[in-house]
A and B are shown apart, each in its own frame.
Chain A
Amino acid sequence: MLDKNGIAKRIAQEVQDGFYVNLGIGIPTLVANYVRNDIEVEFQSENGVLGMGPFPFDGEEDADIINAGKQTITTMPGASFFDSSMSFSMIRGKHVDLTILGAMEVAENGDIANWKIPGKMVKGMGGAMDLVASAENIIVAMMHTNKRGESKILKKCSLPLTGVGCVTKVVTNLAVLEVKNNKFHLLERAPGVSVEDIKNATDGTLVVNGEIPEMNI
């Protein structure tokens, strides 16, 4: 079974040379730490920066340079700043190659819910609805089950949706799943996790074809 860093490490393998990538808050932010250093990748943050770098050294932080999580950041050589409308032109216009974000629930038809729990204080969707509605390549980073052990990989989302039919891949603490033809297709198992474990933790339709390899991380 993977921890959050393990999930990020596995997702980092999906990042290819030449990709512009938008990382959501939480596990997705960790992905930047594990991307191979022999490829060229630029990270986009929807508040208006392309070419995001690591956090600044203590004392070098600049209040005018933050990421979408409102954390102080630095920029890489070749970076650019732009306004919010242009930022979402990059996203809506499908210029960003890969979107990685967290979720509370994912359904077998590709629906995703990650912004609202009825009865709880709603903080807002931020840029998530724009991201999922437009991106062609969306990877969801999440835990396979909630704290009560109930599956978050579902036939149908129970929470208010963020987007419909948009998720293409899910990487959880247990497995890598591809979302295709209204089913979850099991691609890989996390180290030490059996196909049976994954079946038991999955509520949605799970397709298991042949021998399922263990993740190589």
Chain B
Amino acid sequence: MINKKVDTIEEALKGVKSGMTLMLGGFGLCGIPENAIAELVKLNVRDVTCISNNAGVDDFGLGLLLQGKQIKKMISSYVGENDEFERQMLSGELEVELTPQGTLAEKCRAAQAGFPAFYTPAGYGTEVAEGKETREFDGKMYVLEPAFKADFAFVKAWKGDAAGNLIFKGTSRNFNPNMCGAATITVAEVEELVPVGALDPNNIHIPGIFVQRIFQGENYEKRIEQRTVRQKS
């Protein structure tokens, strides 16, 4: 067993510097690496490029990095629900690259899987395809999209072990598995770090080979953005 476990958050984020490109898992506030984000705020790294489907809300998730004006550029598919984001975008302080959600996921997966680029039909004929190579296959047009290049990927899993094996829960899985191994260093935080051997190898979602560092996360808030319920009739 190759040990990936680190004991402190400082060790987990060692080497993160200003100007780097970071991937962060999560969909809305679901499955975001809460501990890593808190530490990025503390480290006060500046001018980072963040690859993340969304940009958090004003006072949580990536919104915390936006508040400190730590982000130079966001690469996302949807960035609503965040007033500070809007202010920085409209004032030109923050650069934003909007990418179709499936393309965003595949740009992560391509980096993970060693593909330099791929063709997708998404965005063909729209401003997303402007300046990009297009090509016809079987009578349909496709856009060439390059894989992402990132320095760190921060992901959050439900359970993991010191070997770096990960299991996700519900829809908090989302972009997290696609970002594992898609950056130079992948840092996984887990709700529950279990002893090696406790996870059934049949049920591993991400094998430890894609993870360089793993740590036991703490104080998860797991905020709900749209609490929607029905009444018992």
Point out residues on A near B: beta carbons under 8 Å: 45-49, 54-73, 81-85, 87-88, 91-92, 111, 121-130, 133-134, 160-165
- Chain A CB within 8 A of B218 CB: no
* Cβ-defined contact, A127 with B101, below 8 A: yes
The residue in B78, B124, B158 that gathers the most chain A C-beta atoms within 10 A of its C-beta is B78
Q: Which of A59, A83, A124, A128 sits near B76, CB closer than 8 Å? A: A124
Distance in Å from the Cβ of B76 to the closest Cβ of chain A? 6
Interface residues in B79-107 (C-beta closer than 8 Å to A): 79-80, 86, 89-90, 98, 100-106
Pairs A-B, 8 closest by C-beta atoms: A88-B102, A130-B102, A164-B125, A84-B105, A64-B170, A124-B78, A129-B100, A123-B80
The verdict on A83 contacting B78 (CB below 8 Å), with A56-B230, A130-B100 known, is no
Q: Which of A63, A127, A164 sits near B30, CB closer than 8 Å? A: A63
Q: Which of A63, A129, A130 sits near B224, CB closer than 8 Å? A: A63
Interface residues in B145-169 (C-beta closer than 8 Å to A): 158, 168-169
Which of the 9-residue segments B15-23, B35-43, B172-180, B208-216 touches chain A? B172-180
Q: Bound state CA distance, A124 and B101, in angstroms?
A: 9
Total residues of chain B contacting the partner, CB 8 A: 57
* Cβ-defined contact, A121 with B122, below 8 A: no
Distance in Å from the Cβ of B189 to the closest Cβ of chain A? 15
- Chain A CB within 8 A of B7 CB: no
| CB neighbours of A85 from chain B (8 A) | 102, 105-106, 108-109, 177-178
| CB neighbours of A59 from chain B (8 A) | 229
| CB neighbours of B86 from chain A (8 A) | 121
Q: Bound state CA distance, A72 and B226, in angstroms?
A: 7
The residue in A111, A124, A125 that gathers the most chain B C-beta atoms within 10 A of its C-beta is A124
